[in-house]
C-alpha cells in the first residue's frame, strides 16, 4: 500500500473530505485564518458531482465574504451573482395570494414593543396602509431596484452560481496553502485503539492521514455516518417534502432582486435569477406527487431555453445526531438537510465552518468542544426547522390532500408557543441568537394569515396626530429612498457585470 505522509513538522493535519461549496468554504476559511499554522488538505474527485442547487443565500453571507477579505464586486462577477432583498411567497396562504419575506426591518420599534403593535393600533384609527409600505427592502424589491446605501441601510444577500462560488473559493484556499488531492475515497480507516479516523484510503490505495477530518461528502456522509455511525433524526413528519428536481434555463428578462417560492398542490417551485441564467426547481412530497408529473409540471412552467438536463434529488429532512464525533466534523449536507425554502443551505455551511474555527483543537480533541458544537448546531437547525414548518402549517389552503395534511399535522411545542403567543398578543421573541429575527417571524406569520388578537398597550400612548405623523414619516421615508434607487439590472451592469452577462 502506498502511503502519503502528510507532514513531519508537528503541524495539525486537517483533512477535508469532499469539495463543492461546503468543502471549499471550509477550506478557504481555515486556510485564510490559520495559514501556515496547520497542514490543510482537501480530497475530492472530479468524477463525483455535487448537488449544486444552492443558488440563493441570506445576509450573513455578506459578512462571511468580508471576513475573508473577498472583494464583493469581484466575487459577484465570478459567480454571476445578483442581489437579493428577500423572497416572494406565492400561493402559500391560499391560492392566488402572495406576500414578501424581506431581509429588512419593518417600521421603527420601541424598546418595549415592535413596530407591528403601532401599526395594528393604527388600523383601529383608520390608518389602513399595508404593512409592506413600511419596509425599505420590500418596496425596493417589488420596484426592481437596488443600491448600496450609507450606513448599510439596505440589507441584502446574493443569488449566485454555487459551483462558480466554490471554484472562486478554491483559488483563494489553494493560494493560502491548501493542498488539493484528486481521488475517490474508497474507504475510511479507523484507529484500532481509539476508534478515531486514522486515514482516508483512496482508490489506488493512496493513504491520506490526518488528525482532524471534516466530512463534506454531502448526503453520502462517508465519514460521519458511513464510518462513525453518528445516527440521524428524521424530521419528515414535520416537513413532508422529500424530492426536488432542478433545471437551469436561459434568462428572458432582467433579473429581479428576489427569489420566488411558488406553492403548488404538493409542494412548491423556485425561481432564482442570476446574471447569465435562471435557476428553476420543484420541491414536492412523493406521497402526493410522482416524479414524472412533477417533472412535467416543472418543464411546463420554465421560461427560456434549457441549459441543463433535469437533476432529480431525493432527500430526507433532518439532522445528524452528532455533527462532531470523535475527530470528525460534518459540514454541509453530511450534517443534515433543511429544504431550500428559506435559502439556509449555504448559511448552515458557513455557520458550521465558523464554529469549527472557533473551537479548533490545539491537539487532542476536547469532549467539551464536541458537546458544545453539537448542542449549538442542533439548536440552530431546530430553530430553522420550526421556521420552515410555519410556512406549511399556517395555511388556509385545503385544496389538496397535501395541504390538508400540513394544516392538521402535529408541530413541535416550540413552534406552537411562538404561533399562539403571536396570535394572542402580537409578540415575537428571538431566542438564543436564533437565525431568523422577530421581523422575519412576523412577516411570515402575518403573510400566512395569522392575525394578532390584540397589541401592546404602549401603542395607544401616542395621540392620534402623533400616531399619524409617526406612520406617515416612515412611509414617506421608504418611498423617497426607493424612488432614488437605480434599477437593479443597471446597478449590476455598473458594479459587477460578469463578462458573459455583458456579452449577452
Residue 171 lies in a domain: yes
212 and 175 share a domain? yes
Q: Enumerate residues 6+ apart whose C-beta is below 8 A from 289.
A: 265, 266, 267, 402
196 and 335 share a domain? yes
220 and 337 share a domain? yes
Residue 268 lies in a domain: no
Residue for grid cell 428553476: 280
Out of 349, 365, 381, pick the residue that ends a domain. Answer: 365
Residue 495 lies in a domain: no
211 and 168 share a domain? yes
136 and 165 share a domain? no
Decide: pTM greater than 0.85.
yes
36 and 113 share a domain? no
pLDDT tens string, the chain, 504 residues long: the values are: 444 434 456 799 999 999 999 999 999 999 999 988 999 999 998 876 665 555 899 999 999 999 999 999 999 999 999 999 999 999 999 999 999 999 989 999 988 999 999 999 999 999 999 999 999 999 999 999 999 999 889 999 999 999 999 999 999 999 999 999 999 999 999 999 999 999 999 988 899 999 999 999 999 999 999 999 999 999 999 999 999 999 999 999 999 999 999 999 999 999 999 999 999 999 999 999 999 999 999 999 999 999 999 999 999 999 999 999 999 999 999 999 999 999 999 999 999 999 999 999 988 899 999 999 999 999 999 999 999 999 999 999 999 999 999 999 999 999 999 999 999 999 999 888 899 999 999 999 999 999 999 999 999 999 999 999 999 999 999 999 999 999 999 999 999 999 764 444
Residue 266 lies in a domain: no
Residue 129 lies in a domain: yes
Q: In the 3-class helix/strand/coil scheme, how is 383-408 assigned residue by residue? A: HHHHHHHHHHHCCCCCCCHHHHHHHH
461 and 410 share a domain? yes
Residue 300 lies in a domain: no
Which of 11, 84, 306, 461 is catalytic? The answer is: 84
For 440, the domain range is 102-158+390-483
Contact, 396 vs 449, CB < 8 A? yes
Q: Is 84 a catalytic residue?
A: yes
334 and 471 share a domain? no
| Beta sheet of 197-202, edge-to-edge order | 185-190, 197-202, 207-209
222 and 170 share a domain? yes
Residue 245 lies in a domain: no
Q: Residue 43 maps to which CATH number?
A: 3.50.50.60
Tally the domains of the chain: 2
Phi–psi pair at 268, nearest 5 degrees: -160, 165
443 and 474 share a domain? yes
Residue 246 lies in a domain: no
Amino acid at each position: 500500500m502506498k502511503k502519503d505522509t502528510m507532514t513531519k513538522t508537528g503541524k495539525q493535519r486537517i483533512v477535508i473530505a469532499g469539495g463543492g461549496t461546503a468543502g471549499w468554504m471550509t477550506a478557504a476559511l481555515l486556510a485564510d485564518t490559520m495559514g501556515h499554522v496547520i497542514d490543510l488538505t482537501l480530497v475530492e474527485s472530479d468524477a463525483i458531482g455535487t448537488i449544486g442547487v444552492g443558488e440563493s443565500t441570506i445576509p450573513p453571507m455578506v459578512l462571511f465574504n468580508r471576513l475573508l477579505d473577498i472583494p464583493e464586486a469581484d466575487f459577484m462577477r465570478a459567480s454571476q451573482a445578483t442581489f437579493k432583498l428577500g423572497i416572494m411567497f406565492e400561493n402559500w396562504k391560499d391560492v392566488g395570494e402572495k406576500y414578501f419575506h424581506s431581509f429588512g426591518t419593518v417600521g421603527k420599534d420601541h424598546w418595549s414593543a415592535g413596530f407591528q403593535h403601532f401599526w395594528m393600533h393604527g388600523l383601529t384609527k383608520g390608518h389602513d396602509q399595508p404593512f409592506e409600505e413600511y419596509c425599505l427592502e420590500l418596496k425596493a424589491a417589488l420596484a426592481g431596484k437596488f443600491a448600496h446605501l450609507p450606513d448599510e441601510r439596505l440589507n441584502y444577500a446574493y443569488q449566485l452560481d454555487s459551483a462558480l462560488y466554490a471554484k472562486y473559493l478554491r483559488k483563494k484556499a489553494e493560494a493560502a496553502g491548501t493542498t488539493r488531492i484528486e481521488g475517490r475515497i474508497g474507504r475510511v480507516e479507523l484507529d484500532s485503539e481509539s476508534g478515531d479516523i486514522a486515514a482516508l484510503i483512496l482508490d489506488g490505495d493512496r493513504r491520506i492521514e490526518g488528525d482532524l477530518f471534516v466530512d463534506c461528502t454531502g448526503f453520502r456522509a462517508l465519514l460521519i455516518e458511513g464510518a462513525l455511525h453518528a445516527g440521524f433524526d428524521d424530521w419528515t413528519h414535520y416537513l413532508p417534502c422529500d424530492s426536488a428536481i432542478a433545471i437551469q434555463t436561459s434568462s428572458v428578462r432582467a433579473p429581479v432582486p428576489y427569489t420566488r417560492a411558488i406553492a403548488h398542490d404538493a409542494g412548491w417551485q423556485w425561481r432564482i435569477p442570476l446574471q447569465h441564467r435562471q435557476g428553476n426547481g420543484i420541491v414536492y412530497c412523493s406521497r402526493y406527487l410522482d416524479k414524472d408529473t412533477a417533472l412535467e409540471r416543472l418543464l411546463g412552467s420554465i421560461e427560456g431555453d434549457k441549459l441543463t438536463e433535469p437533476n432529480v434529488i431525493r432527500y430526507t429532512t433532518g439532522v445528524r445526531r452528532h455533527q462532531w464525533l470523535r475527530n470528525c466534523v460534518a459540514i454541509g449536507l453530511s450534517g443534515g438537510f433543511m429544504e431550500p425554502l428559506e435559502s439556509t443551505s449555504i448559511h448552515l455551511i458557513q455557520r458550521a465552518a465558523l464554529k469549527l474555527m472557533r473551537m479548533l483543537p490545539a491537539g487532542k480533541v476536547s469532549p467539551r468542544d464536541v458537546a458544545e458544537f453539537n448542542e449549538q448546531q442542533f439548536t440552530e437547525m431546530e430553530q430553522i426547522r420550526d421556521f420552515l414548518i410555519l410556512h406549511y402549517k399556517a395555511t388556509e389552503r385545503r385544496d389538496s390532500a397535501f395541504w390538508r395534511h400540513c394544516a392538521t399535522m402535529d408541530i413541535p411545542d416550540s413552534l406552537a408557543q411562538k404561533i399562539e403567543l403571536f396570535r394572542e398578543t402580537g409578540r415575537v421573541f428571538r431566542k438564543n441568537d436564533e437565525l431568523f429575527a422577530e421581523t422575519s417571524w412576523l412577516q411570515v406569520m402575518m403573510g400566512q394569515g395569522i392575525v394578532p388578537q390584540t397589541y401592546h398597550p404602549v401603542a395607544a400612548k401616542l395621540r392620534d396626530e402623533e400616531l399619524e405623523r409617526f406612520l406617515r414619516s416612515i412611509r414617506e421615508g421608504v418611498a423617497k429612498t426607493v424612488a432614488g434607487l437605480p434599477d437593479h439590472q443597471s446597478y449590476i451592469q455598473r458594479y459587477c457585470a460578469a463578462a458573459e452577462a455583458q456579452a449577452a
